[in-house]
Amino acid sequence: MSPMEGIPENKGLLERFLIWRVRNISEKQLLIMLAVLIGILAAIAAVVLKTSVHYLEGWVRSVPGAHMGNWLFLVFPVIGILITVFYVRRFVKDDISHGVSKILYAISRNKGVMKLHNTWSSIVGCVFTSGFGGSVGMEAPIESTGAAIGSNVAQATRLGFRRTNLLIGCGAAAAIAAIFKAPIAGLIFSLEVLKLDLTMTSVIPLLIATAVGAIFSIIFLGEGIEFHFTLTDPFNHVHIPFYILLGIITGLVSLYFTWMNSHVESGIRKIRHPYVRVIAGGSILGLLIFIFPPLFGEGYYAMRDLLSGQPELLLENSLFGYITDTTGFFFVGFMILVLFFKAIATSLTTGAGGIGGVFAPSLFMGGITGFVFSRSTNLLRDSHISEHNFSLVGMAGLIAGVIHAPLTAIFLIAEITGGYELFIPLIVVSSISYMTVVYFQPHSLYTKKLAEKGQLITHHKDKAVLTLLNVENVLETSFDRLSPDDTLGDLVRVIAHASRNIFPVTDEENHFLGLVRLDDVREIMFDRSQYDSLKVRNLMIQPRATVSPGDSMETVMQKFRESGLWNMAVIDDGKYKGFVSRANVFNIYRKMLLEVSEE
């Protein structure tokens, strides 16, 4: 018997599959199957992005001539961002910057819907931006890509809001797992940054998606971890005070990064013409990279040098190559300058129109912060604290501070470096960094702009449910209408058969003129002497507030609170549509909250 037997042939292939699925596959089984599919697709996207960026970056770096003798490095970043901006404006025709913020916006305000082009557009943009030296990472574009894959799979299979958000999380988690070969970090990222609910219904698909993403990444890219780290100096509890101090410092550096990113991006975007903005921002970026070669690209080369105990390699082909003593304060000063300008370089890249994220720059800045702290401490105190260990732990501190995700930072660094022996200092530094930065800035780099616009509601399920409602969902039309020329007698006859205590008054063209409340006419409604003389126009009042069909439910609820009303008329361009009532909104809200929260 054919699996599709009994299904009408006039249906499309997708519709026939959906009908067959409802008959033969439970929702839990479907989620497992889709988690596997999304994990595979996200892994393929991660492999394509990572391989493309590394090949392009390798070609750019291999251009003949030593770095300081090759003036092309002044223009390579401009070329990359210029290609990216042209590609976005000519082919994508949509804003694809700030990938993680776009995911949060989709969950918060767009019912989990992400456009189809998001499954590939950020990858192409990031390849040109990062491959030509733009000082950004690949993580945000691949997270956006994975989330878009999950969203579009959910839309194709007609899953609701709750399941759509779960598959968005599966896609983002699988993308992180694939690009870092870090499945635990991918899972925690979805829970900690995207704020998905941790239930048995959600955790199993997330685990499967991350495992599949990591496995397929290993198949294509090999089993090697991102950064090879050898623990030469075991963790010493005597150094805990130094780790506590590093946690505070990385929190402050995270605050600086967030502040600098906001100000540089907003400053360069005041240049209205997109290509003039590219030339201006790209030129400054090129100059910074020319002076400080470690700022080129995502910075993984520099991080590998730090973790391998060869920080002096960061001086190669630099204007500061005259520094021969790489053990003294001059070298520390050079590293501080690199740290300072990395935040500016990253912000210039994204502000000028490049596509990329802050994940890799955060790792880069964290590694340098840890190195500068440990080297300075050793010089000042004539002591020995491990520069490798502090560089590695500093990476976790910046991730925790910049994206406000200490758990993600702990497990990501442990997985991508194999530094599991440093779990205690990772926990100490990440948690203190997070506590330090949230004291000054409650929102992460991902959520800051959304919060300022009032668009960040992923952290509040009740507000998220409100976005699923609109005025049409709660509109009630079972109200008896009156004409302004009706008499009190007419009103009494309407009241006798009415089930409501409010009566809208409209003209012949349905324009809303006012309303009559039963409480206002209760004392005179039995005075028969006024039945023919008293008109409705003399009894109606103007409501303290009305609602437009385009109002959001947050606006509607705010009007309810401010007016103290229990019912508000819905007016569309002056015409009466019906009423919304607090009781009805609350009842529908409760049903949807139960649906979204259902285990």
CATH of domain 464-597: 3.10.580.10
Sheet holding 575-581, edge to edge: 546-547, 567-572, 575-581
Give the number of other Cβ atoms within 10 Å of residue 494's Cβ. Answer: 16
Is-contact 327 372, C-beta < 8 A? no
CA distance to 61, 142, 296, 326, per residue, from 401 (Å) = 32, 21, 23, 29
Both structure tokens of 244: 């506590």
Q: What is the mean pLDDT of residues 369-384?
A: 88
Is-contact 257 343, C-beta < 8 A? yes
Both structure tokens of 375: 């080297």
CATH of domain 13-221: 1.10.3080.10
Measure the CA–CA gap between 106 and 31, rounded to whole angstroms: 20
Measure the CA–CA gap between 405 and 280, rounded to whole angstroms: 33
Query: Bridge-partner residues for 517, per DSSP?
Result: 502
Confidence bin at 370 (pLDDT 50/70/90): very high
- Per-residue pLDDT of 336-347, as tens digits, reads 999 999 999 999
- The answer to whether 237-453 and 464-597 have equal CATH topology is no
Measure the CA–CA gap between 476 and 299, rounded to whole angstroms: 59
Expressed in angstroms, the distance from the first to the final Cα of the chain is: 35
For residue 447, is pLDDT > 90? no
CATH of domain 237-453: 1.10.3080.10
- Per-residue pLDDT of 523-582, as tens digits, reads 888 888 888 888 888 888 888 889 998 887 778 888 888 888 888 999 998 899 999 888
Measure the CA–CA gap between 326 and 5, rounded to whole angstroms: 75
**What are the domain boundaries of the chain?**
13-221, 237-453, 464-597
- Per-residue pLDDT of 261-285, as tens digits, reads 989 998 998 998 999 999 999 999 9
Percent of the chain topping pLDDT 90? 41
